[in-house]
Amino acid sequence: MSVATGLAIGNTPTSDLATQAVAQAMQRADISHPNSVLLFLSADFAHDPQPALLAASRQSQCMQIVGCSAAGIFTEQDWVLDSPAAAAMVFGGELSLSAVHTPADDDLILALTAPNAIDTNWIGAPGQRLGAVSGDATGRGPYKVWSGGKVCASGRCEMTLQGVRGMMGVSQGIRALTAPTEVTQVNGFDLLSLGRQSALNVLARELPLEVRELDHIPLHLIMAAVTFGEPSTAFFEGRYRLVQVIATNPDDRSVTLSARLNEGDKVFWALRQPLAAERNMRVTLDRTEQLLAATPQFGLMFSSMGRGPSFYGGMDRDLQLLTARYPDMPLIGFYGNGEIGWLNSANQLLQYSTVLGLFTDHV
C-alpha cells in the first residue's frame, strides 16, 4: 500500500517544515507523485497557512492538500505540542482523498472543522464521520481547515478515502462511579435530581476518597455520561456520550452541565482517569481490529487536548499503545477541541475522547 508519513519540527513556523514533512513521507512511501496529501500544521501556522500549503503542493506536485492547523500534531514517529511542526501523510497508487458528493450511510468520511464552524447538521449528515475540531482547550484562536491546497472559507471540509476499507473505534476512557439512573428533574443546564435524589448528593457520595479529600473538587475530571439503548450494559459496550460538569451548586444541590439533559434520560457519573482511559483504549483497539478483520496498514487518530500527554503525565499512552501493537504502521492525527465519531449508529461530537480509524486494502 502506497502510504507513509513524515514529521518535521523546527524553531520557527516556516513553509520549509511542510516541504520536509511531505518529502520525508514521499521517500518512505517510495512515490514521486502522490494522489493526495493529508497535512496537519501546528498552531504557529494558524494565522497564515497558505505559504506552507503551497510548499507542500510544490514538493508533492499535487493539488489535493487536505488538513488543518491544530494545537498539537503527531505521527507514529512522535507527538509535538510546543514547537512549530508539520505532519504529512501521502497517498499513492489506488489511494486518494476525494471530495464528498452523495455519501452512503456506511461510507467512512474524514471530517475536519474549525471551532467557529461547528455545525451539528453537518456532523449529523450521511456517512460515518471520523475527525475532530481543530481548536485548543479554549475553543478560540485562528484555526484553519483546508482542502484542494486552499483554506476553506466555510471553516470545514469532508473527504472520502478512496481505495481502502476502514473501521472506526471510539475510546471515551472513563471510570464509572454510579450505575445509570433516571434524570427526574432538570432546569435548563442544571441537573437537579437523579432517581428523585439531589444530583449533587448522588455525585458526592460516590466520589473516590482521593478526590473528596481535595480542597476543590476537580470538576474537569468529572463527567455525566448519558447512555444510549439498554442502560445496564451501556458502559461496557461504550454506548454513552460524555457531558462536562461546569459547576456544583450547594444551595440547591444541583450540578450545572455543558449540555441540556431531558427528564427520562439515563445518566451515570464518571471520572476521567488515566488508568481507565488506557484500559479502554486497549479494548477499543481490540474491537476495531476485529471489525476490520485484517491487520491495518495505516491509521488516523484524533485525540482531545484533555486526553493527550498532559493527561497521561507527559506521555501519550494512546499513541504508545497503538504504535506498540502496530510497529511502523503509518499513522497521523492531531489533538483538538472536540472529536467527531460514529457512536450508537449516529455521528457524535465527543469530548475528552480518542477517535481511531484503521484501514486496509479495499476488498
pLDDT at site 137: 60
Q: What is the pLDDT of residues 81-113, one digit of tens each?
A: 999 999 999 999 999 999 988 888 889 999 999
The position carrying cell 513553509 is 15
Residue 236 in this model has a pLDDT that exceeds 90:
no
Q: What band does 13 get if pLDDT is binned at 50, 70 and 90?
A: very high
9, 36 in Cβ contact below 8 A?
A: no
CA dihedral sign of residues 238, 243, 244, 249: negative
For residue 214, pLDDT over 70 is answered with: no
- Of all residues in the chain, the percent with pLDDT exceeding 70 is 96
Between 3-12, 137-146, 234-243, 316-325, the lowest mean confidence (pLDDT) is in: 137-146
pLDDT value of position 140:
63
Predicted pLDDT at 344: 83
Q: Tell me what pLDDT residue 183 has.
A: 97
Q: How confident is the model at residue 66 (pLDDT cuts 50, 70, 90)?
A: very high
All structural domains of the chain with their residue ranges: 3-171+277-361, 174-272
Averaged pLDDT for residues 18-27: 98
What pLDDT shows up at residue 101?
A: 85
- pLDDT tier at 1, thresholds 50, 70, 90: confident
Q: Which of 127-141, 208-222, 257-271 has the highest mean pLDDT?
A: 257-271
